[in-house]
Chain A
Amino acid sequence: IGGLFRNVVGGKTLTKEDLEKPLKGMEDHLMRKNVAREAAVRLCESVERDLVGLKTGSFTSVETTIRQAMESALQKILTPTTSLDLLRAIQSTNAGTPQRPSRPYVLSIVGVNGVGKSTNLSKLAFFLLQNKLRVLIVAADTFRSGAVEQLRVHVRNLQELSQREGGEVGIYERGYGKDAANIARDAVSWAAENAWDVVLIDTAGRRHNDQRLMSSLEKFAQLARPDKIFMVGEALVGTDSVQQARNFNAAFGAGRGLDGFIISKCDTVGDMMGTLVSMVHATGIPVVFVGTGQHYTDLRTLNVAWATRLLLS
């Protein structure tokens, strides 16, 4: 019984010293969950600020108090401040207003190599098709071998599915080697002429430390004028997540940043969900979807309670 109550400091006013060791434990815990050190340290600092001088509840240990504080810190950081209702945004753009003519809603996907851009773009298309929309997929990765054929296969599969599910899907492609920004612009105007509801633009993977490839994103944004730019980041990535998020967010020129993250491959990391935290922490940009597998239905909106539970388990 003595052991049970050892850590109970009910009604104690917490000092920096009380918190130091258990907070270090929390920091290590977060890093084991693949939270980048930078984000883990900051989160622990904010918890420390919240708790120093606070009186603990009766029968509550320092550890439990820290856990609860971390839980709300994580919830706060992961919960978007503005809600993104994609379907409503699409609808209102398609409908237009007296001031704004009706037009297709344009969405583009960016990110480093191999994270799952093309696959999650196809999942997004599937979701839109289920909502009976007409979706045009644009093959603007004109570099990587097989990138165009990959999308062609997805479009063929989705066409089959849409016969059952409704909606309509098509592909806009111009082969390899051409300038992606020009293709995107042409695709968007073609989509407007042909009354597509949504244009989904795939782009080539690029290293966030490659100046040349990153700077071409600015022209891309100017010509394609996407309503939303989503970055795909994979749950597998480590500390690099922080710089990936920052560099992509800064790549589109003044006044234009990312609108959301899709965190892919969440099914491959167990409870190591740290990437979610690292990317949001680095930029303040919300996670709009998580990828949980390699099939069209494996795309979810982020359940903050679920993510927080895994991070603290």
Chain B
Amino acid sequence: MVLQDLGRRINAAVTDLTRSQNLDEKAFDSMVKEICNALLEADVNVKLVAGLRQSIRRSVNFKELAPGVNKKRVIQKAVFDELVKLVDPHAEPFKPRKGKPNIIMFVGLQGAGKTTTCTKLARWYQARGFKSCLVCADTFRAGAFDQLKQNATKARIPYFGSLTNTDPVAVAAEGVEKFKRERFEVIIVDTSGRHRQEDALFEEMVQIQQAVRPQQTVMVLDASIGQAAEAQSRAFKEAADFGAIIITKTDGAAAGGGAISAVAATHTPIVFIGSGEHLLDLERFDPRAFVGKLLGMGDMQGLMEH
């Protein structure tokens, strides 16, 4: 799974150091270096890694550690805190309210997994007692409506879309209006893939957003994304001010550092992760528990309570 190998490697680096006989500054430096290489290989943004390297050095401040302190503990805590900082923006994610229309709009790069994930999420809320539905505002991609329709039908979720109207703003507005009238509680709007280099596509996203006025905009990110993650997610944040991230394809082999960098760049929490192509392959995400597990809960439990 995503970040697991990275976790193992970081853990090994910390453990190696803290077990070693002479825990000197040179050994400490090489541990920091090993952690940074692991992060870079996991696609964490290059600048972010440089920052993290400094933060760990600063918070451990090896030269001035008093002789009595438990160096192992100080180092472990510093590494843990920095990693949590990467994935935990301390922002409360949105929770839909029963008896009200909760409009959730999906945005993201081409092929990230939006259409697949919006059905998964509709089913997730449906299973938890929300009257849920889907609106297809992707009028661009060939077969987009058929894709959503087939997924929704399998999941038994009501859907709206148009095979003739090519204006995504109009289709989105019409679908949301209709489902609001019918007292649906979770209304999920799927949109086309887009990227920051094409202004017209971003403009269209903003217009759809203005038309449906979502309570929550979600950015969907592929777990395998590399160094482009930061600039793209920043641009999406600026244009659409998304409040949550869903990382997809975490069943792949990618370590997910690109997606994590997007979290750090936009101070936006990951709320769910997609872990397969099927309807039920969706899991909740909790950053602290995640990093804790990553670094071996046993050692870290104590640190988390301090």
Contact = CB atoms under 8 A, between A and B. Distances in A.
Interface in A69-114: 112-114
Contact of B228 (A118, A149, A272): A272
Given A268-B197, A270-B228, A238 B253 contact: no
A168 interface: no
A265 B254 contact: no
B268 interface: no
A312 interface: no
Given A154-B142, A239-B41, A268-B195, A32 B46 contact: yes
Interface stretch (A10-18, A49-57, A140-148, A185-193): A140-148
A272 B42 CA distance: 17
B144 A34 contact: no
Interface residues of B, number: 47
B146 A145 contact: yes
Given A37-B41, A207-B253, A238-B254, A146 B224 contact: no
Interface string B143-161: 1111111110010000000
Contacts of B162: none
A125 B257 CA distance: 36
A297 to B, nearest CB: 15
B93 interface: no
B246 interface: no
A275 interface: yes
A238 B258 contact: yes
A152 interface: yes
A269 interface: yes
Contacts of A157: 142
Given A116-B110, A270-B197, A208 B253 contact: yes
A272 B143 contact: no
Contacts of B112: 114
Contact of A268 (B42, B149, B232): B232
A153 interface: yes
A48 interface: no
Contacts of B141: 150
A294 interface: yes
B109 A144 contact: no
A147 B143 contact: yes
B138 to A, nearest CB: 11
Identify the interface centre among B43, B154, B224, B258: most chain A CB within 10 Å of its CB. Answer: B224
A268 B258 CA distance: 15
Contacts of A33: 227
B227 A272 contact: yes
Contacts of B231: 270
Contacts of A197: none
A131 interface: no
Given A236-B228, A267-B195, A31 B146 contact: no
B111 A239 contact: no
B139 to A, nearest CB: 12
A119 B142 CA distance: 9
A66 interface: no
Contacts of B232: 268
A209 interface: yes
A115 B252 contact: no
B168 interface: no
B277 A144 contact: yes
Nearest to B38: A37
A243 B255 CA distance: 12
Contact of B254 (A151, A239, A272, A294): A239
A34 to B, nearest CB: 4
B251 to A, nearest CB: 6
Contacts of A144: 147, 277
Given A150-B147, A208-B253, A268-B109, A31 B40 contact: yes
A104 B254 CA distance: 38
A28 interface: yes
A238 B195 contact: no
Contacts of B41: 36-38, 239
B228 A34 contact: yes
Contact of A294 (B110, B147, B222, B253): B110
Nearest to B142: A153
B225 interface: yes
B217 to A, nearest CB: 20
B150 A145 contact: yes
Nearest to A208: B253
A240 B252 contact: yes
A208 B254 CA distance: 10
Interface string A200-238: 000000011110000000000000000000000011111
A299 B38 CA distance: 35
A270 B37 CA distance: 24
Given A31-B227, A235-B228, A238-B225, 8 more contacts: A116-B111, A207-B252, A237-B226, A238-B258, A239-B41, A243-B253, A267-B197, A270-B197
9 contacts: A114-B112, A209-B253, A236-B222, A236-B226, A238-B257, A269-B228, A272-B226, A275-B226, A294-B110
What are the 6 A-B residue pairs with the smallest beta carbon separation, nearest first? Answer: A238-B226, A146-B147, A150-B143, A114-B111, A238-B43, A153-B142
